[in-house]
């Protein structure tokens, strides 16, 4: 279950201000200690803003072809660069265009 940043901050403050052990509070709330301490480390490093959920989308993928290879406009090929590149590339053309 995902918790919004405001709820994470509220849980952190509850644990900080309580005289009870963190384990007991977290058990009552159903929050695993590892999850809480991950939130707490983020909070200590970056403040409340660090508790915001980030996009699960990876920033980079190791095998992605750069957009520049397909989207660049050249005076020789114009908008047909994508097609030209795919049909003239020796690696790709052997698979796309039978000889």
At 6-47, the pLDDT tens digits run 999 999 999 999 999 999 999 999 999 999 999 999 999 999
Note whether 47 and 16 are same-domain residues.
yes
DSSP assigned state of 75: T
> Is-above-0.75 flag for pTM?
no
What is the SS3 assignment for 20?
coil
Residues 11 and 47 in one domain: yes
User: Cα(87)–Cα(35) distance, rounded to whole angstroms?
Assistant: 50
Query: Is 40 inside any structural domain?
Result: yes
Q: Which pair of tokens denotes residue 50?
A: 């660090």
Q: How confident is the model at residue 63 (pLDDT cuts 50, 70, 90)?
A: confident
Please give the residue range of the domain that contains residue 44. 5-51
Looking at the fold, whether 40 and 12 belong to one and the same domain comes out as: yes
Number of domains in the chain: 2
Dihedral, CA of residue 77, residue 78, residue 83 and residue 87, to nearest 10: 10
- At residue 37, the pLDDT reads 96
Whether 57 is covered by a domain: the verdict is no
């Amino acid at each position: 279950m995902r918790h919004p940043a405001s709820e994470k901050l509220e849980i952190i403050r509850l644990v900080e201000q309580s005289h009870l052990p963190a384990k007991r509070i977290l058990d009552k709330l159903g929050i695993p200690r590892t999850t809480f301490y991950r939130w707490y480390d983020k909070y200590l490093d970056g403040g409340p803003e660090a508790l915001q959920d980030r996009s699960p989308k990876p920033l980079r993928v190791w095998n992605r072809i750069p957009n520049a290879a397909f989207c660049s406009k050249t005076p020789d090929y114009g908008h047909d660069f994508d097609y030209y590149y795919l049909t003239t590339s020796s690696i790709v053309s052997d698979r796309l265009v039978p000889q």
